[in-house]
A and B are shown apart, each in its own frame.
Chain A
């Protein structure tokens, strides 16, 4: 099969042993790549007793057959390991340039195990991999560190490099990927896994081209595909992921005040349109992406100046802005910049600060706990100062860096009632009361409250995908059909994470399921249909569920936090029904072929070849 190097690089930091694992065609057919390879390795190589922050945990970074091809929006990879934040399957999908540079070194993925005696970084290039001393950059932020690393290797390189938060093993630490732009594998505490291994960075640059079956055919298809993608994503690219903030606030999807409020007139102050009109200096794109949704912002005046770099994405604006009621765009930009530098997940950081603001309001924490910082709703200063404390693990920031679930347990009393997470992962900025498919997605996604597992909210609004049975947008707040649509989209998105294709390729139907199948066949030389690729997605999704059930996950863990199931909201345009999770889960399990406890049945596993 073509489109792969058929090699996984394996590095054991304890023994400093480096090996190459060959991949056979049957594995490629069954799991395709990306999340498929990662889930298989994680299932096979960890146990119920694996400590997420112990040397026995694995850190896997996997590309797919679309990586380093002409397929647009495919410069991404999937990072996996046992999550220190949730204690279950951890995964994070990240863009930028690292994936393409890495695949060009001649490997499809890398697995790191063990723990180095002293801090090290990996330099992965055409000639192999070197384990090098990282002590000169310990304590330095990701951007300073990347500058140094490029000086030691090549300025063309891309560095997956943790900051102080990962070094100090904050459970909400991500892995910034610094090339010409910064992108984070932010979710599930993968930065802490790197920190636990004394692994500061993985730096890569290569020049080897992978052989594809019909590269000319793919090139020809791009002559029509690329102009179409540019046309339908023009508005999305112009205003970025946060262009729809005002819309989402009006629809009741935007998270407000730790998910307890309904309306917020200030949403417009932090929208992508305001950013565009005030501080936007340009757009950033992941390698080979025609959409260019990334924001280059510059702030030259005011208390948070200077900032010149990445602007916040929608999810960051939703969690740091909406959830905390902070309408100061400059403060959000500063906190976002600090997260990129410290290596913190902006979504978990914003969520835990919102949780702390409510705890402060309720008297569970006071200024004696916060070094005098008034943790009031709407305080941009508090947002920035708490982000610093979390990133550097100072004062109460040490506890906050453990995430909402652990902080609530530590505070005790009624904190659990307003601790918003599923399985330990703080949600994305999409309200499951507005989009019930997202309620199901938060409940059943392997990593916890994840909207990307289904990316279904646009399919309750405007999108359809007839190839997988979604002939028209699905009605919101309706039980009938929601489980089927959510499951089918989860399966489709899992397939995308195996091939490696960005969700945003679905905006405006820029890329269809038919395109995806055609391009996979052109790259690999196979002749499959959408049914066969969906079967791969379903196999991987079930394997991830199996991994979690081995760790004790079942129906009891698939419910949402109390606020989503009991706290109603009011206001024009706000849907007042709450998601009936019991019924939604029952429908979902039946469609998935799982039993009433949410465990895949033996028949289903046999059918999937698991």
Chain B
């Protein structure tokens, strides 16, 4: 599976990260494989809930916003974006 990053995450992670997986893995577990600097800027180390995570980063599978316990397959591409709040 692949993560596609947007700014500001590209500066830390590059444009994409690929993790080959043989069976579905939770988003939480996949994030755990991120480089430490990336984990730090998405505040994952403190995120105990989806809402806390979504305050700093959002993971989308097409238009679906993913939760930490959602399972990801090897053929999926996940977009990583800053949260959308607006004015």
Contact = CB atoms under 8 A, between A and B. Distances in A.
B87 A314 contact: yes
A504 to B, nearest CB: 7
Interface string A241-259: 1011011101101000000
B62 A457 contact: no
Interface residues of B, number: 25
Given A236-B55, A239-B8, A508-B54, A461 B62 contact: no
Contacts of B70: none
Taking residues whose C-beta sits less than 8 angstroms from the other chain, chain A's interface range is 35 or more
Contacts of B6: 246-247, 268, 273
A247 B51 contact: no
Interface string A63-89: 000000000000000000000000000
A246 B7 contact: yes
A434 to B, nearest CB: 9
Nearest to A271: B7
Contact of B82 (A273, A318, A461, A462): A273
A458 interface: yes
Given A234-B43, A234-B56, A274-B7, A244 B82 contact: yes
Given A246-B81, A246-B82, A247-B58, A231 B87 contact: no
B69 to A, nearest CB: 13
Contacts of B57: 235
Contacts of B52: 232, 508-509
A545 interface: no
Interface in B47-87: 50-52, 54-58, 60, 62-63, 65, 79, 81-87
Contacts of B51: 462-464, 508-509
Interface in B30-51: 43, 46, 50-51
A429 interface: yes
A276 interface: yes
B86 A232 contact: no
Given A246-B82, A277-B8, A235 B87 contact: no
A461 B65 contact: yes
Contacts of A507: 55, 85
Nearest to A464: B51
A241 B65 contact: no
Given A462-B50, A508-B55, A248 B84 contact: yes
Nearest to A313: B87
Contacts of B56: 234-235, 508
Contacts of B62: 572-573
A247 B87 contact: no
Contacts of B46: 231
A251 B82 CA distance: 12
A235 B84 contact: no
A239 B41 CA distance: 12
A430 interface: yes
Given A239-B8, A573-B63, A429 B54 contact: no
Interface string A308-350: 0000011110100000000000000000000000000000000
Contacts of A250: 60, 79, 81
B86 A462 contact: no
Interface string A569-599: 0001101000000000000000000000000
A117 B54 CA distance: 55
A233 interface: yes
Contact of A233 (B8, B55, B65, B81): B55
A251 B58 CA distance: 12
Contacts of A212: none
Nearest to A244: B84
B86 to A, nearest CB: 5
Nearest to B49: A509
Nearest to B9: A273
Nearest to A236: B85
A568 to B, nearest CB: 16
Which 5 interchain pairs have the tightest Cβ spacing?
A508-B55, A244-B84, A315-B87, A462-B54, A247-B84
Given A235-B43, A253-B86, A461-B58, 10 more contacts: A239-B8, A244-B86, A268-B7, A314-B85, A315-B87, A429-B86, A429-B87, A463-B51, A509-B55, A575-B63
22 contacts: A231-B43, A232-B52, A235-B43, A235-B56, A235-B83, A241-B87, A247-B6, A247-B58, A247-B82, A253-B86, A268-B6, A274-B7, A276-B8, A314-B85, A315-B87, A428-B87, A451-B87, A461-B58, A461-B84, A507-B55, A508-B52, A573-B62
